[in-house]
A = this chain, B = another copy of it.
Amino acid sequence: MNVLILGGAGMVGRKLIDRLARDHGLNGQPIERLTLADVVSPEKPKGLGARVETVMMDLSAPGGAEKIVASRPEVIFHLASIVSGEAEADFEKGYRINLDGTRALLEAIRRTGDGYRPKVIYTSSIAVFGAPFPEAIPDEFHLTPLTCYGAQKAIGELLLADYTRRGFVDGVGLRFPTICVRPGKPNKAASGFFSSIIREPLAGDEAVLPVPDTVRHTHASPRAAAGFLAHAASLTHAQLGDRINLTMPGISCTVAEQIEALKRIAGSKVAARIRREPDETIARIVAGWPQRFDARRAAAFGFRAETSFDDIVRIHIDEELGGVIQ
């Protein structure tokens, strides 16, 4: 199998590669060729038993998309995105990468004109929804995003669904909940603090909490995210029908409950490393985000996430800290 990961240098991309290595392939088939593309040079993964190529490229640059599909990858994971905070701050860049980049990919595939019809797995986001919300957001809830990022992701979903309906690609869109605990450095996502308040204290550092701890949100671990992606590759258009964009499952909890889980697992001393420093911009963005989902279709199609936030903290300690808390 020939697999392409766009945004392969990012955190979710790396977790997906680990997962493919662990599974010795995708959909029970070995991967002969894997291309990792990103705006920064992706690290070459080990232990995959595939011919791996890394490409530094911008999907929205002229000819970029054509070049990357020239080898006719059978499965394309499209994870490349400008994150929410940056897309809001840099209006043009957000639209260029998140909208034009996605459209360029779909157009490059369509324009091959030779019956090439890859599986395209697109990471969307719960940011496609915008307040006010019912207590739990059903699968049929409308798309009224309140950020540029959310608007761009919703547009990407619509394009993917239309190109799929017309038979140009075989698409699945996955609305990721917030991925928590993100390893590594904070990125520019407005949702970054949901991870920081767990990650930094566990590493012995101070974390900043910019919102009240009554804020409720839905989370899934990086391990679950990689699982969503791998599972999506196994689904067919015939199974999904025309509604190919699915809200992924996750754990809905408040910031206070996140902190309680941290305390239970790592103790009060660790949890005391969270400093409250309200930030109105972040609070306003987060207030427009959904809190809880009734993600029935995803569950029916076999997507699985963690069942408690304690599990999410434990996965981080296992996978990123070698079991050691500072």
Contacts and interface: CB of A to CB of B under 8 A. Distances in A.
A141 interface: yes
A264 interface: no
A243 B166 CA distance: 29
Interface of A: 91, 110, 130, 139-146, 148, 151, 154-155, 158-159, 161-162, 165-166, 242-243
B145 A142 contact: no
A166 B130 contact: no
B141 A158 contact: no
A282 B68 CA distance: 38
A144 B130 CA distance: 17
A166 B165 CA distance: 32
Interface-central residue, A151, A161, A166, A243, by most chain B CB under 10 Å: A151
Interface-central residue, A91, A141, A155, by most chain B CB under 10 Å: A155
A158 B145 contact: yes
Q: Oligomeric state, in number of copies?
A: 2
A110 B95 CA distance: 13
B159 A151 contact: yes
Given A155-B155, A242-B130, A162 B144 contact: no
B143 A142 contact: yes
Nearest to A154: B158
Contacts of A155: 155, 158-159
A29 to B, nearest CB: 31
Contacts of A142: 139-143
A263 to B, nearest CB: 37
A151 to B, nearest CB: 4
A242 B144 contact: yes
A164 to B, nearest CB: 11
A158 B151 contact: yes
A98 to B, nearest CB: 11
Contacts of A143: 142-143, 158
Given A145-B158, A146-B165, 7 more contacts: A130-B243, A140-B142, A142-B142, A143-B143, A145-B162, A148-B162, A154-B158
A146 B162 CA distance: 7
A144 B142 CA distance: 9
Contacts of A154: 158
Given A146-B242, A242-B146, A151 B141 contact: no
